[in-house]
Chains A and B, each alone.
Chain A
Amino acid sequence: MNHLLQIYPYLVAGWIFLCGLYGIASSKHLVHMVISLAVLQTSTYVLLLNIGFRKNGIAPIFADLSPGIITVDAVVQALMLTDVVVEATVVALLLAMVVKVHEKAGTLSPDDLRLMRG
C-alpha cells in the first residue's frame, strides 16, 4: 500500500502526459491543440512537485524556522515556477499565432491548414 502511494503521483504525471499527447494528436481545432499542449505541460508540474515532496514537510519559508524542521524541497518549487513562466510565454505566443491564423485563413481546423504538405 505504501509502495503504491509512492508510485501513484508518477502514474498521474504519466497519465496527464498521455492525455495531452492524445489531445494534440487528435486535435481538430488549433485552440484545443494549444490547450492540450498546456495539459501536457502540467504533467511536469506534478512530476517536479512529487520529486520535492517530503513526508510531513512544510512550506519552505525559512524566515522563522528553527533548524531541523522538515520542509519540502525549495529548489524543485523554484524549477516549477520557472516552468510556469516558460509555459505561459509559449502558450501566449501560440494563441497570438492562432488569432492571426484565424484572421488570415478564416478557419482553425488543422486539417484545412496544410499549406506545408509534402
Chain B
Amino acid sequence: MTSLPALPIALPLLAAAFLAGARKWLRRWMVDLAAVLTAGANLALTTMLLERSWHGNIVYWFGNWFPRGRMVLGIGFEVDPVGAGLAVLASLLTLLALIYSWRAIESGQNLYQPLMLIFLAAMCGFVMTADLFNLFVFFELMSTAAFALCGLKVQEPAPLQGAFNFAVTNTVGAFLILTGIALLYAVTGALNMAQIGWLLGSRHDSLVVAACAFIISGFLVKAAIAPFHFWLPDAHSVAPTAVCVLFSGLMVELGVFAVLRLTTVIFGAGIGAGHPELRNTLLVLGSLTVLWGGVMCFSEHHLKRILAFSTISHSGAMLLGAALGTPVAVCGWIIYLFAHAMAKAGLFFTAGILLHRLRTMSEPALFGRGRPLRFTAVLWLLGGMALAGLPPFGLAQGADLMEAAAGSPQLGRCLSFLLLFTGTMTAAAVFHVLLRVFAGAGDAGPSDRASEVGELPESSEETNRIPGRMFVPAAVCIALAAAPSFVPHAGKFAIRAASLFLSRDAYIHQIYSMPGSPLSVALPPISLVSSLLRGLAAVVIAAALAGAAVGHKHVPRPYRWATRLEGRLFPLRQLQSGHPGDYVVWCMVGFVLVGGCLFAFQ
C-alpha cells in the first residue's frame, strides 16, 4: 500500500461528498453511522501510518511526480511520527465527537457530518504535507470548515456573531501566511519545504526575516497566542460541544505545530538555529499568553468561555515548549499536547452533558443545579486535576520535560512558574464551577453579559437522564489524559518522535530519497516526587483560589483583594470587545511585535 498517506485525506473527503449529496435519501441514523465508520476507518489508517513512519519518514508524491535531481516537481507528503500521531489524534477526537453528537438536533440538518469529515481531512493533510502552499490550502480548508461548524446553530444570533469574528480574524491570519509564502517563493523559487530549507541554508537577511515574521504571525493567530487570541473565546462559547472538542483539542495546537515545523525545516539553519531572537520572541509571547489566558479564565462565568480561555493559557504553555526547540522540550510538548487535548475534550464533553441536562452554560444560572449529577461532577473534578498537572495525568510529565529542557537555571525557574501558573489558574476556574454548580456553595457569582449568551440545547431527547453516547466519550477522554503515565515506554516513544521531528537534515534528505541520520537523544531522568509536589501545589492553590472566589464574604478583609480577581470589571475583560475590527487591529499589533522583535534582535 504505497498510497497509504493519501488515504486519510481522500477517504473523509469522498465520504463527505457522498453524504452531502445523498443525505436527502438517507435516514438520519445511516448518515450518523456512515460518518462514525469513516472516522473509525481513518483512525485505523492513521494508526497504520504511525506504525510505518516509525522506521523513517514516509514520502509520497502525488501522481508520481518525483523530484529530478535537487528540483522538486510535484506535491508531496512527508509523514513523520509526530505528523502521523497528530493525524491519529485528529481521527480519534473526531470519532468521539461524532459518537457524542449521534442523533443530536443539529446533526439532522446543516451538513454537520460532511463538515466534520472535511475538517478531519484538512487536519490530516495539514500535518502530513511537505509542500508549503499545500499547507496553506489545507489550513484554509480547515478554517473554512471550522467557520461553518462554529456557526452551525443559525437559529440564534450569538453563534453567527462568534463565527463571524472567528472567520474575519483567521482569514486575516491566513493572508499573512500567504504573503510570507509568496516572499519565500520570491527568494527561493521553491514551494517544497525541504527544498526551501535546503536553498535558504543559513541565510537570514531582512527579506527572509520578514517572510518568517509574516508566516509565524499568521500561524500564531490560529494558535490563539496573545495578542492574536481574541477570536477564540467567541468561537468556543458558541460552537456546538462536539466542535469545541476539535477546536480546543487539536485545531489551536496545530498552529503551534506549524510554527515548530517551519522553524525547524525552513528556518532551522538560519533564524531558527543559534540565533536567539526567534526563540526569545516566542518565549515572550508564550509567557504573555499563559498569564493573560490564566487570569481571564478565572474571571469568566460561562462554562465554555472558561474552557476557551484555559485553552489559550495552555496553548501559551505549549508555545513555550515549542520555542525551546530541543528534543527533550519537544518530547514534553508532544506529551503535553496529547494530555491537554484529552483533558480538554473530556471537560467539553462534560460541559455538554450539563447543557443537555440543565439547558444552559451560564454559571450563575446553573448555581446548585448540578447536585444530583454525581458522576458528572467526578469527571469535572478529574478534568480540573488533569489541567492542574497532577500526576498521573500527562500534563505533569509534559511540563517536567519542558522544564528539564530549559537550559539555564533562570529560564528553568521562569518556566516552572509559568507552567504552575497555567495549571493553577485554569484548575481554579474549573473548581469554582465545581463548587457553585455541583455543590451549590457560596453565592451564585456575578452575572455578566458574556455568561448570559443563550445556547440552544443540542438534543431533543428527554433530559432527565444522561445517554451513554455522551458519558462514555467524556470518561474515555479523561482516562486517556492519564495514558502517558501508564503506557509503558510512552516517554521513549515521544522522545524518538521528537528527535525524528527535529532532524532537519533527515527530513530534507528523505525528500530526495537520500539516507539521513536522525538525531538520537536519551530521555532525561524526571523526579516523580517534584512532579507530584508541583501537581499537589497547583491543586491546593487552585482550590484555595476557587474557595476564596466562591465564599468571598467569609474572606478576611486584608485578603479580599484576591477575590476581586473574579470581578466582572476586570480591565482585561474590556479588551474582549466583541468587534472583529478590534481583534484584527490586535493581530496587527502582534504582527508588528513579532516583526519588530525579529529585526531588533537581529
Residues of A within 8 A of B (CB): 17, 21, 24-27, 30, 33-34, 37, 40-41, 43-44, 47-48, 51, 75-76, 79, 82-83, 86, 89-90, 93-94, 97-98, 100-101, 104-105, 110-111, 113-118
Contacts and interface: CB of A to CB of B under 8 A. Distances in A.
A93 B167 contact: yes
A114 B579 contact: yes
| Most chain B Cβ neighbours within 10 Å, of A24, A27, A34, A51 | A24
Given A37-B168, A47-B182, A93-B167, A118 B576 contact: yes
B443 interface: no
B581 A51 contact: no
B533 to A, nearest CB: 36
Contacts of B579: 110-111, 114
Q: Could you tell me the dominant secondary structure of chain B's interface residues?
A: helix
A50 B182 CA distance: 10
Interface residues on chain B, size class:
35 or more
Given A116-B233, A117-B577, A97 B178 contact: no
Contacts of A113: 157, 161, 578
Interface stretch (B148-156, B266-274, B478-486): B148-156
A86 B137 contact: yes
Interface stretch (B251-259, B312-320, B582-590): B582-590
Which 9 A/B pairs are nearest by Cβ-Cβ distance? A114-B578, A117-B578, A116-B578, A118-B450, A116-B234, A25-B581, A104-B157, A51-B186, A118-B573
Contacts of B448: 118
Interface in B140-172: 140, 143-144, 147-148, 151, 154, 156-158, 160-165, 167-168, 171-172
A48 B148 CA distance: 28
Contact of B144 (A51, A89, A116): A89
| Most chain A Cβ neighbours within 10 Å, of B161, B191, B238, B573 | B161
B179 interface: yes
B449 interface: yes
B469 interface: no
B333 interface: no
A115 B148 contact: no
26 contacts: A17-B179, A24-B172, A24-B584, A25-B584, A26-B581, A30-B164, A33-B581, A75-B191, A79-B185, A86-B137, A86-B144, A90-B167, A90-B171, A94-B168, A97-B151, A100-B160, A101-B164, A116-B158, A116-B165, A116-B450, A116-B453, A117-B450, A118-B449, A118-B450, A118-B568, A118-B574
B449 A104 contact: no
Nearest to B296: A118
Contacts of B573: 118
Contact of A97 (B156, B158, B160, B585): B160
A89 B143 CA distance: 11
Contacts of A98: 164
Contacts of A101: 157, 160-161, 164
Contact of A21 (B238, B578, B584): B584
Interface string B442-473: 00000011100100000000000000000000
| Most chain A Cβ neighbours within 10 Å, of B148, B164, B584 | B164
A40 B576 CA distance: 24
B133 interface: yes
Nearest to B575: A118
Contacts of B156: 104
Nearest to A13: B179
B580 interface: yes
A114 B577 contact: yes
Given A105-B157, A116-B161, A117-B576, A25 B449 contact: no
A100 to B, nearest CB: 5
